[in-house]
Chains A and B, each alone.
Chain A
Amino acid sequence: MRYGECDVAVIGGGPAGLAAATAAATEGASVCLFEREEKTGGILKQCIHDGFGLIRYGEKLSGPEYAYREWLRFRESGAELRLETFMTAVEKEGNGFLLTLTDSQGILKYRAKTLVVACGCRERTDRQVGIHGFRPAGIFTAGQAQAYINLDGRMPARRCLILGSGDIGLIMARRLTLEGAEVVGVYEIKHEPAGLSRNIAQCLTDFSIPLHLGCTVTEVAGRDRVEGVYTVRVDKNLVPIEGTEEFVPCDTLILSVGLIPENDAFEALGWEIDPVTSGPRVDSCGMTSVPGVFSCGNSLHVNDLVDYVSESGETAGKAAAARCRASESLPGRPIPVRAGSGVGALVPQSAAAEGSANPVDFFFRSRQTLASCRLSVTADGKEIFSRRYETVRPPEMEKVTLDLSLLPPGTGGLLFSLLPDECGSVESETAGYEIIDETVCIECPRGCRLRIGRRPDGSIAVFGNSCPKGKLYGERETENPHRVLTTTVKTVFGDCPRLAVRTDGPIPRSALKDAQRLTDAVTVREAVLPGTVLIQNFGGWGVNLIAASECHP
């Protein structure tokens, strides 16, 4: 049996774990990162679409590229990495923790002063949303379909219906379409989409895939392979409306019906779970109710953006390292943080008091879509912060940063509420313009709702943007919309039969399918790294086709 020891043990080598380990090691702690798969990067490895890293790197990267950058940072940090190592048990031992792990050489016992849990999340399945019928082949979660298509190059669908408008579902609608499948529609039980607005725009609207809101799947037909599904419309309480049942023939049902933070292996430690986020309750350092155990990323709460996942990893890693340095100086009494009216998920659930990380980032989601409202944060009844929002939507996580050092000592609690706000209407701005188009800016995750106006003299103006990029986007969108193509190409390597690729700049939206056909004919025969140019001036569109992932014999 092998034994090891470290200050900080990080469980999970996705973006949260990589950032946590890097941060902790940079702080001088001895760190070991345990990853059960053969490579770090977590689920990013299969997320070949772009849009990652706008905040952290100021670029729109694909998932594998982002993971690669995080890995490069991690490699420099000096933290130890154990791949294909699976934690089977964790227990408290003295002031620290004892991990039992399994790998192909035997059992490994690791003592750590602190733990950072970064195990990501899992997808809810068809049975967990009450779909009945037989159990035929052809029912996949969106993530599973994504792994088949993007990593292994297997085609799980010809004609499919997607249930749930979560982001992965939307992304997969586009992927499946590009790879030649027909997506008959995306069905969403709620009356508004569950994914980011920019994904609705660039994954559904771009490909004319219908989105059915207030509509769900009740039953699957087919004994051996899916032959179709029964859909039904629901009322505003999400109860099926009789007489609206419809049979939709298809061979595949893909589900994007919610993510659940994966913390099951750690429940034995006895931490408190927040029923709203399904993750542990943490303070502003990411520490759970069990001292010395930290949580971050999607195992803490489901994030929309990987940039925030990395940030939370850094916070937790840094704090875990600090705790090892000075484990005797326990932080002062934490200030409880509560969600008031209109606020759903809210993390962290408490703010460590003096001497800890400051300012503090808070993440929240609204309970429902609210137009023109403001976030009000009060400390013991006194408002300490307020911010206006044009709209807040449950699918879109909002972040606010508060400086808590100014709070009077002994503050009893913080309350976050969303209140109606009578702000000026945007109508006046557009006076004199004819609104000719409405669209969602896809330049960044904020997803500003743009309105394109035209004056009688023909001049164009963009409204609703929050930055100059939005203006440019709006203008180009009216004249000639452009998109980045993200897809895969074949390789000759058995271990990675498909390589993620993308164009290094946008190409005309109308050319996406032609561009996809061009990539279908490409086979990579040599080792490449993310960023390697595969084809210069791809298709004559003035952009290069670059590798977004690595592959080697």
Chain B
Amino acid sequence: MKKNRIKRKLADSGIIFIENEFSALLFGETENWEEKINAGCLAAKITAKPVANYILCRNGENPEAPVIPSCSDDETDGIEYDVAVIGGGVVGAAVLRELSKWNLKAVLLEKECDLAFHASGRNDGMIHPGFAAKPGSKKAYYNVRGNEMYTQLTKDLKVPFVRKGSMILLANPLYRLAVPYMLRRAQKNGVPGCRYLSKKELYREEPNLACRAAGAFLMPTSGQLSPQKLVCALAENAVQNGAAVRLQTAAVDFRFEKNRITQIVTNRGVIKVRAVVNAAGGWADWVAARAGDPLFTLHFRKGEDLILDKKSSAFIRRIYAMPRLSQVKSKSKGGGLVPTVEGNTLVGPTAHEVCSRDDYSTARGDVLELEKHIRLNEKLSDRQIITYFAGIRACSYDEDFIVEPSKRVDNLFHLAAIQSPGLASAPALAEEAVDWVVKLLSREEPVSPNPSFNPVREDKRYDYDLMSEEEKDAFLKENPLYGKIVCRCEQVSEGEIRDVLRSPVPPTTLDGIRHRARAMTGRCHGGFCTPKIVRIMIDERKLKSADIVKKNRFSPLFFGETKEEQ
């Protein structure tokens, strides 16, 4: 019944809905972007297949292709790999590391000049408990599994991680009626340890709560980490175990033999492959189509977060939010307060549909919208805002992950539409994909585990932070540059910056250093330390001033040197 009504509604607005063996297709034309997205969402309600929305929007950006890196050479030409992973976000990096556990020659292709350049580096670092996802969804399954894996994973990779626990604050005593339902949902999804906190318990734990909450629903497994650090650590460990990372290398075309991809054409030559994992984030639909499987299209939801000064850490223990009843059914949880592992508090995120895949600009109105969350805590104020940022979630129309081997192409696996809770799910998604890859390749010849796989990635700063004062003293005698503090706000030393520059996937940009070492992220926001880091980078790499860039080669910091003809 409902199905017919929706079909009619689509037809009335001139939208054509067609189902083929693999996808539901939408064609037609709309006036604005919102109508296009709405049509996609409606279609998702009446089909179990992924939606590929080919509606043309008259007043919107209809991006055709990603920007392909302008460097063009033959660096990768002719290299044979067993597996290529497309995309250097958290999913791609997790897949690469998982692959490095096997005796397989694996490569990660990333079009940008660094990892975690898009969604993976632009989120709140939350490792969700797995409560929010619909029971039975892929999101729920991989989130809960992934969350569990983080304890060991972060220990191995030496990425600071803490399970702070998150709370849904109940705005009204009536909401307590929902608690049994919430507990049932947690049980269905397999989220451990959830429980109701009485008003008394809640305010004992969070004495600075400014709002009148009737109680809270606690999910103790929620965690927090630096997503950029995690992605880099995953990739570094994979490289240490024999995998390769190719930056500024975009998969632009695919060559086939029968139903198999045999070659990937990149801007830096043609590589040979036996299996391909599509983890291309915001461009996963484009990659899927280029790879012969136009299974789905994505739509994009932007989110903004505020970052508060580290001082806020004294006033907040757990992650919390107070959703309004109207948000229960909405696609995003409406944001809240997220104390980070480093001590800052994130406020957000917002959620609104956008037509661009990489428009990370922030706008005043969106930031103001977030200030309501700050008021949840009486000790936090907008005066503590250090900065703000935006990220974009790449979503499918049914809002679930796309985790499946291609039905059209025999050796292609999709990990797409990995929006929130993608970070939390990534390790479990990687297991799934690699399991499939290993089975696939084993049909040709047996695949054996990598005998020298070492799950541990070394990180001196991580070790340092856990040391006693006596140990620190001894460490500094061995590593004197770790005693020279460069970034005063985050207490990052010259030794750390130099080690980051020498890491297995070394950064080539200031943002790359920022993401790995946290320098330039504090309250002075690089005012004091950037000149020092520039000096270190120039010394370490033997560069000139004009070579120093912020995020890519189009973002130089300097126009050469003074007293020089420019």
A positions within 8 Å CB-CB of B: 1, 36, 84, 86, 88, 100, 102-107, 122-123, 125, 127-128, 130, 132-138, 141, 143-144, 147-149, 151-158, 179-180, 218-219, 224-225, 251, 264, 267, 488-490, 498, 520
Min CB–CB distance A548 → chain B (angstroms):
16
Q: Is the CB of A137 within 8 A of B483?
A: no
The CA-CA distance from A338 to B19 in the complex, in Å, is 77
Q: Can you name the residue of chain B whose Cβ is closest to the Cβ of A120?
A: B528
8 residue pairs bridging A and B, Cβ less than 8 Å apart: A102-B483, A103-B476, A106-B483, A107-B473, A125-B387, A132-B363, A141-B527, A158-B566
Q: Is the CB of B554 within 8 A of A224?
A: yes
Q: Is the CB of A137 within 8 A of B555?
A: yes
Interface-side segment among B150-158, B183-191, B222-230, B484-492:
B484-492
Min CB–CB distance B6 → chain A (angstroms):
38
Neighbouring B residues of A136 by C-beta, 8 Å: 550, 555
Neighbouring A residues of B525 by C-beta, 8 Å: 125, 127
Q: Is the CB of A153 within 8 A of B561?
A: yes
**Given A106-B472, A153-B563, are A225 and B556 neighbors across the interface (CB < 8 Å)?**
yes
**Given A127-B386, A143-B527, A264-B311, are A156 and B485 neighbors across the interface (CB < 8 Å)?**
no
Min CB–CB distance A176 → chain B (angstroms):
10
Q: Is the CB of B484 within 8 A of A154?
A: no
Q: Is the CB of A105 within 8 A of B480?
A: yes
Neighbouring A residues of B554 by C-beta, 8 Å: 224-225
B positions within 8 Å CB-CB of A: 311, 360-364, 367, 385-389, 469-470, 472-474, 476-477, 480-481, 483-485, 488, 491, 523-528, 530-531, 534-535, 545, 549-552, 554-564, 566
**Chain A interface mostly helix, strand, loop or mixed?**
mixed
Q: Is the CB of B483 within 8 A of A103?
A: yes
Min CB–CB distance B120 → chain A (angstroms):
17
Q: Is the CB of B552 within 8 A of A224?
A: yes
Which has the most chain A C-beta neighbours within 10 Å: B469, B472, B555, B562?
Answer: B562
**Given A106-B472, A106-B476, A155-B560, are A125 and B524 neighbors across the interface (CB < 8 Å)?**
yes
The CA-CA distance from A143 to B529 in the complex, in Å, is 11
Q: Is the CB of B389 within 8 A of A179?
A: no
The CA-CA distance from A143 to B528 in the complex, in Å, is 8
The CA-CA distance from A279 to B559 in the complex, in Å, is 38
Partner of B530, one of A132, A144, A218, A520: A144
Q: Is the CB of B556 within 8 A of A154?
A: no
The CA-CA distance from A123 to B526 in the complex, in Å, is 10
Which has the most chain A C-beta neighbours within 10 Å: B476, B554, B555, B563?
Answer: B563
Partner of A1, one of B388, B469, B484, B531: B469
Partner of A122, one of B362, B388, B477, B524: B524
Min CB–CB distance A52 → chain B (angstroms):
21
Q: Is the CB of B483 within 8 A of A179?
A: no
Q: Is the CB of B469 within 8 A of A105?
A: no
Min CB–CB distance A36 → chain B (angstroms):
6
Min CB–CB distance B527 → chain A (angstroms):
5
The CA-CA distance from A132 to B388 in the complex, in Å, is 9
Partner of A155, one of B387, B488, B561: B561
The CA-CA distance from A103 to B484 in the complex, in Å, is 6
Q: Can you name the residue of chain A whose Cβ is closest to the Cβ of B388?
A: A127
**Given A155-B560, A155-B566, A264-B523, are A225 and B476 neighbors across the interface (CB < 8 Å)?**
no
Q: Can you name the residue of chain B whose Cβ is closest to the Cβ of A84?
A: B484
Q: Is the CB of A102 within 8 A of B477?
A: no
Q: Is the CB of B562 within 8 A of A498?
A: yes
Task: Contacts A122-B523, A133-B362 known; list 8 others, CB within 8 Å.
Answer: A36-B488, A132-B363, A148-B531, A151-B531, A153-B561, A153-B562, A155-B561, A225-B555
Q: Is the CB of A1 within 8 A of B473?
A: yes
The CA-CA distance from A105 to B477 in the complex, in Å, is 5
Q: Is the CB of A134 within 8 A of B361?
A: yes
Neighbouring B residues of A153 by C-beta, 8 Å: 545, 561-563
The CA-CA distance from A180 to B476 in the complex, in Å, is 44
Neighbouring B residues of A100 by C-beta, 8 Å: 469
Q: Is the CB of A135 within 8 A of B360?
A: yes
Q: Is the CB of B534 within 8 A of A152?
A: yes
**Given A104-B483, A137-B557, A154-B558, are A132 and B472 neighbors across the interface (CB < 8 Å)?**
no
Q: Can you name the residue of chain A whose Cβ is closest to the Cβ of B488?
A: A36
Partner of B562, one of A1, A143, A488: A488
Q: Is the CB of A152 within 8 A of B364?
A: no
**Given A84-B484, A105-B476, A144-B527, are A154 and B364 neighbors across the interface (CB < 8 Å)?**
no
Q: Can you name the residue of chain B whose Cβ is closest to the Cβ of A1?
A: B473
Q: Is the CB of A156 within 8 A of B476?
A: no
Q: Can you name the residue of chain B whose Cβ is closest to the Cβ of A158?
A: B559
Min CB–CB distance B540 → chain A (angstroms):
14
Neighbouring B residues of A267 by C-beta, 8 Å: 311
Min CB–CB distance B274 → chain A (angstroms):
37
Q: Can you name the residue of chain B whose Cβ is closest to the Cβ of A520?
A: B563
**Given A153-B562, A498-B562, are A104 and B555 neighbors across the interface (CB < 8 Å)?**
no
Q: Can you name the residue of chain A whose Cβ is closest to the Cβ of B494?
A: A104
Neighbouring A residues of B526 by C-beta, 8 Å: 144
The CA-CA distance from A224 to B561 in the complex, in Å, is 20
Q: Can you name the residue of chain A whose Cβ is closest to the Cβ of B552?
A: A224
The CA-CA distance from A219 to B366 in the complex, in Å, is 14
The CA-CA distance from A158 to B564 in the complex, in Å, is 13
Neighbouring B residues of A105 by C-beta, 8 Å: 476-477, 480, 483
Q: Can you name the residue of chain B whose Cβ is closest to the Cβ of A252?
A: B559
The CA-CA distance from A104 to B385 in the complex, in Å, is 33
**Given A144-B530, A154-B562, are A104 and B484 neighbors across the interface (CB < 8 Å)?**
yes
Min CB–CB distance B186 → chain A (angstroms):
38
The CA-CA distance from A180 to B560 in the complex, in Å, is 12
Neighbouring A residues of B485 by C-beta, 8 Å: 36, 86, 102
The CA-CA distance from A218 to B566 in the complex, in Å, is 30
List the 7 closest A-B pairs by CB distance, nearest first.
A137-B550, A104-B480, A224-B554, A224-B555, A137-B555, A127-B387, A106-B473
Min CB–CB distance B253 → chain A (angstroms):
26
Q: Is the CB of B473 within 8 A of A156?
A: no
Neighbouring A residues of B534 by C-beta, 8 Å: 148, 152, 154
Which has the most chain B C-beta neighbours within 10 Å: A103, A107, A180?
Answer: A107
